[in-house]
Amino acid sequence: MRSATAGLVLAVLLAGGADSKTQETGRDRDGYWWANMTGLTKLALVEGYVDGLAHADVVVALIAQENPKAIDHTVRDAIRGNLDYYRITYGQFVDGLDKFYLDYRNKAIRFEGAIGHVRDEIRGVPREQLEKDLELMRRGAVREKP
Protein backbone atom coordinates (compact mmCIF):
# COMPACT_ATOMS: atom_id res chain seq x y z
CA MET A 1 0.00 0.00 0.00
CA ARG A 2 1.45 3.38 -0.92
CA SER A 3 1.69 6.10 1.72
CA ALA A 4 -0.86 8.39 0.07
CA THR A 5 -3.32 5.54 -0.29
CA ALA A 6 -2.64 4.38 3.24
CA GLY A 7 -3.22 7.89 4.55
CA LEU A 8 -6.51 8.11 2.67
CA VAL A 9 -7.62 4.75 4.04
CA LEU A 10 -6.74 5.85 7.57
CA ALA A 11 -8.61 9.14 7.16
CA VAL A 12 -11.71 7.34 5.89
CA LEU A 13 -11.61 4.81 8.72
CA LEU A 14 -11.18 7.45 11.40
CA ALA A 15 -13.79 9.79 9.91
CA GLY A 16 -16.38 7.04 9.48
CA GLY A 17 -17.82 7.60 12.93
CA ALA A 18 -17.57 11.38 12.82
CA ASP A 19 -21.26 11.95 12.00
CA SER A 20 -23.03 12.06 15.35
CA LYS A 21 -26.50 11.47 13.92
CA THR A 22 -27.97 8.27 12.55
CA GLN A 23 -28.75 8.43 8.87
CA GLU A 24 -32.10 6.69 9.33
CA THR A 25 -33.63 9.02 11.90
CA GLY A 26 -31.47 12.12 12.07
CA ARG A 27 -31.28 11.57 15.86
CA ASP A 28 -28.12 12.03 17.85
CA ARG A 29 -26.33 8.86 18.89
CA ASP A 30 -26.75 9.58 22.59
CA GLY A 31 -28.37 8.07 25.67
CA TYR A 32 -31.90 8.51 24.32
CA TRP A 33 -30.93 6.70 21.13
CA TRP A 34 -29.19 3.98 23.16
CA ALA A 35 -32.25 3.45 25.40
CA ASN A 36 -34.48 2.77 22.36
CA MET A 37 -32.47 -0.28 21.29
CA THR A 38 -32.97 -3.89 22.30
CA GLY A 39 -30.25 -5.87 24.04
CA LEU A 40 -29.28 -7.76 20.88
CA THR A 41 -29.14 -4.57 18.86
CA LYS A 42 -26.90 -2.96 21.48
CA LEU A 43 -24.61 -5.99 21.45
CA ALA A 44 -24.41 -6.00 17.64
CA LEU A 45 -23.73 -2.27 17.55
CA VAL A 46 -20.92 -2.54 20.11
CA GLU A 47 -19.44 -5.53 18.29
CA GLY A 48 -19.42 -3.64 14.98
CA TYR A 49 -17.99 -0.50 16.54
CA VAL A 50 -15.22 -2.29 18.43
CA ASP A 51 -14.37 -4.53 15.46
CA GLY A 52 -14.18 -1.46 13.22
CA LEU A 53 -11.77 0.22 15.61
CA ALA A 54 -9.67 -2.96 15.75
CA HIS A 55 -9.50 -2.92 11.94
CA ALA A 56 -8.44 0.73 11.96
CA ASP A 57 -5.77 -0.13 14.52
CA VAL A 58 -4.39 -2.84 12.20
CA VAL A 59 -4.30 -0.35 9.31
CA VAL A 60 -2.39 2.20 11.40
CA ALA A 61 0.07 -0.49 12.51
CA LEU A 62 0.59 -1.61 8.90
CA ILE A 63 1.16 1.94 7.68
CA ALA A 64 3.68 2.52 10.45
CA GLN A 65 5.43 -0.76 9.72
CA GLU A 66 5.53 -0.23 5.96
CA ASN A 67 6.76 3.32 6.16
CA PRO A 68 8.00 4.32 9.62
CA LYS A 69 8.31 7.95 8.53
CA ALA A 70 4.68 8.14 7.34
CA ILE A 71 3.38 8.72 10.87
CA ASP A 72 5.33 10.32 13.70
CA HIS A 73 5.57 7.78 16.54
CA THR A 74 3.89 10.08 19.07
CA VAL A 75 0.96 10.62 16.70
CA ARG A 76 0.85 6.90 15.91
CA ASP A 77 0.78 6.01 19.61
CA ALA A 78 -1.96 8.54 20.31
CA ILE A 79 -4.07 7.22 17.43
CA ARG A 80 -3.54 3.60 18.43
CA GLY A 81 -4.35 4.40 22.06
CA ASN A 82 -7.75 5.73 20.97
CA LEU A 83 -8.35 2.61 18.89
CA ASP A 84 -7.51 0.19 21.71
CA TYR A 85 -10.72 -1.51 22.77
CA TYR A 86 -9.10 -4.93 23.13
CA ARG A 87 -9.53 -7.38 26.01
CA ILE A 88 -12.96 -6.11 27.03
CA THR A 89 -16.04 -8.17 26.20
CA TYR A 90 -18.91 -6.75 24.18
CA GLY A 91 -21.21 -7.56 27.10
CA GLN A 92 -19.07 -5.49 29.46
CA PHE A 93 -19.40 -2.54 27.09
CA VAL A 94 -23.18 -2.94 26.86
CA ASP A 95 -23.54 -3.23 30.64
CA GLY A 96 -21.26 -0.23 31.16
CA LEU A 97 -23.13 1.87 28.60
CA ASP A 98 -26.48 0.95 30.15
CA LYS A 99 -25.18 2.10 33.54
CA PHE A 100 -23.51 5.21 32.09
CA TYR A 101 -26.70 6.38 30.39
CA LEU A 102 -28.86 5.82 33.49
CA ASP A 103 -27.44 9.08 34.85
CA TYR A 104 -29.61 11.90 33.52
CA ARG A 105 -26.52 14.11 33.22
CA ASN A 106 -25.07 11.70 30.65
CA LYS A 107 -28.12 11.36 28.38
CA ALA A 108 -26.89 13.89 25.79
CA ILE A 109 -23.34 12.50 25.60
CA ARG A 110 -22.61 10.89 22.26
CA PHE A 111 -22.00 7.15 22.03
CA GLU A 112 -18.36 7.54 20.97
CA GLY A 113 -17.51 9.43 24.15
CA ALA A 114 -19.59 7.15 26.34
CA ILE A 115 -17.98 3.93 25.13
CA GLY A 116 -14.53 5.47 25.55
CA HIS A 117 -15.43 6.40 29.12
CA VAL A 118 -16.66 2.86 29.82
CA ARG A 119 -13.43 1.44 28.37
CA ASP A 120 -11.33 3.72 30.56
CA GLU A 121 -13.42 2.87 33.62
CA ILE A 122 -12.96 -0.87 33.04
CA ARG A 123 -9.24 -0.40 32.49
CA GLY A 124 -8.85 1.35 35.82
CA VAL A 125 -8.10 4.91 34.75
CA PRO A 126 -7.89 6.94 37.98
CA ARG A 127 -11.25 8.24 39.21
CA GLU A 128 -10.03 11.87 39.17
CA GLN A 129 -9.21 11.62 35.44
CA LEU A 130 -12.50 9.88 34.66
CA GLU A 131 -14.44 12.62 36.47
CA LYS A 132 -12.53 15.36 34.70
CA ASP A 133 -13.13 13.78 31.29
CA LEU A 134 -16.80 13.15 32.09
CA GLU A 135 -17.33 16.78 33.10
CA LEU A 136 -15.85 17.91 29.77
CA MET A 137 -18.16 15.55 27.88
CA ARG A 138 -21.17 16.80 29.81
CA ARG A 139 -20.31 20.42 29.03
CA GLY A 140 -19.79 19.54 25.38
CA ALA A 141 -23.15 17.80 25.23
CA VAL A 142 -25.15 20.84 26.33
CA ARG A 143 -27.36 21.80 23.42
CA GLU A 144 -27.20 25.30 22.00
CA LYS A 145 -30.40 27.27 21.54
CA PRO A 146 -31.55 27.24 17.91
Q: What is the pLDDT of residues 57-99, one digit of tens each?
A: 999 889 888 888 878 888 888 888 889 999 999 999 999 999 9
Please report whether residue 88 resides in a domain.
yes
Q: Judge whether 53 lies within some domain.
A: yes
Structural domain includes residue 146: no
Q: Any bridge partners for residue 28, and if so which? A: 21
Q: Which domain holds residue 32?
A: 3-141
Q: Is residue 109 part of a domain?
A: yes
**Model confidence, pTM:** 0.78
Is 119 a domain residue? yes
123-139 mean pLDDT:
97
Number of domains in the chain: 1
45: CB partners within 8 A, 6+ apart: 37
Q: How far is residue 30 CA from its own chain's centroid? A: 12
